[in-house]
Amino acid sequence: MATAAAAQWVQTNVGANGLAVITLDRPKALNAMNLEMDIIYKKHLDEWAASPGVKSVLVQSSSSRAFCAGMDIKGVAAALQEDKTSTLPHQVFAAEYSLICEISNYKKPYISLMDGITMGFGIGLSGHGRYRIVTEKTVLAMPENGIGLFPDVGFAHIAARTPGGGAVGAYLALTGARITNPADALYVGVASHYIPSENLPSLKEELEQLDLSHDAHQKVEEVLGKYSKSPEAEPKLKGLLPAITSCFGGCKSMLEIIAALTTAQESDDSAVAEWAKGALEGLKKGAPLSLCVTQRHFADIATAVSNVDHPLAKIEGVMRKEYSLGTKTSMRPDFLEGVRAVLIDKDQKPRWQPATVEDVDQKELEEVLAPLEGHPPPF
């Protein structure tokens, strides 16, 4: 039954011109991806990669409200609530992360229409692809610290390449701040093109009629270029870059970041002061240990990115590390408590263990950051 439902939630079609389309159709859950959906999605990508008849892949949602809001968090939490030794987290992270690796390395044009809410694994399904389309309705965020996990799905790989030597990406990951305008999505690099939502039907129609028999990438790029627009406003994050770099750059510890933001909110520049206040509010929503894990992980990836031979400079190395981090953080009490507070009871009052960044035990932090034993990543 679960597999049958998942097949309805991940619908596929291959057009006469070789355009293969994945439509996520689980609107009540904002297209949250469960294990069965992950498996079906990857099965199709594998088949299409090997099929001469498939020339390009387009991923979309059946609803303009959300492209994909992330992983099916409630399902994983329910399994752990029932059995603390459940292997579902291992299975889910393995499925998600192997899928991300495939998307990142996909040879054929892979186009994502990120119309609406695109968070967590939604960014994993789109942000690593070649063609990443946002609209004026797109809402991007990585809010996982707020449920006791950490911003995963290879976002650290993307973040390391953001302006400020990765500082902008670290800011987005640690605070869970939302990107709600196309200019910032392009500036950060999560998006490759901005296309107004009213033009998506015409874009899809043209892609479905496009001759993809030769030079598929060039043909796709020409069509996307035809519909792509320049955002009317400048990216807000660009204007805040000096402040973001000052507070989140240079591999600062969590305590140093908090101190820098506390100083910045007293800035004479009202835009900087307001931004710093918002960033501090965002940090307050995160589990303290998760924040420390995130800071260390993102700093490690940002440092490694300049060395092409470093394992963490490649998506596969990042995903192997995140398989360990994801499994370990999901097994801590903060995860179930975060899900309770944010998604079930919705009282927004999680009781974190530990309660503050100052109380984070360095030994426990190092244990979470250490490689997972007994469950090697199957990819």
Instruction: Tell me the CATH number at 221.
Output: 3.90.226.10
In a domain, 378, yes or no: no
Within a domain: residue 198? yes
Helix axis angle, 167-175 to 241-248, nearest 10°: 70
pLDDT > 90? residue 378: no
Residue 46 pLDDT exceeds 90: yes
Query: How many helices, marked H, and strands, marked E, lie in the chain?
Result: 18, 9
Q: Please identify which residue in the block is written with the tokens 């619908």.
A: 11
- Residues 315 and 166: their CA atoms lie apart, in Å, by 16
pLDDT at 229: 97
**Is 374 domain-assigned?**
no
Calculate the average pLDDT of the chain. 97
Has residue 3 got a pLDDT over 80?
no
Q: What is the arithmetic mean of pLDDT over 304-327?
A: 96
pLDDT at 1: 41
pLDDT in tens, 70-112: 999 999 999 999 999 999 999 999 999 999 999 999 999 999 9
- pTM of full prediction above 0.85: yes
Predicted confidence (pLDDT) per residue in 140-156, tens digit: 999 999 999 999 999 99
* 160 lies in some domain: yes
Question: Is 375 within a domain?
Answer: no
Instruction: Show the domain range for 41.
Output: 2-369
Residue 244 falls inside a structural domain:
yes
Q: How many structural domains is the chain composed of?
A: 1
Start-end of H helices in 105-151: 121-126
Residue 324 lies in a domain: yes
379 belongs to a structural domain: no
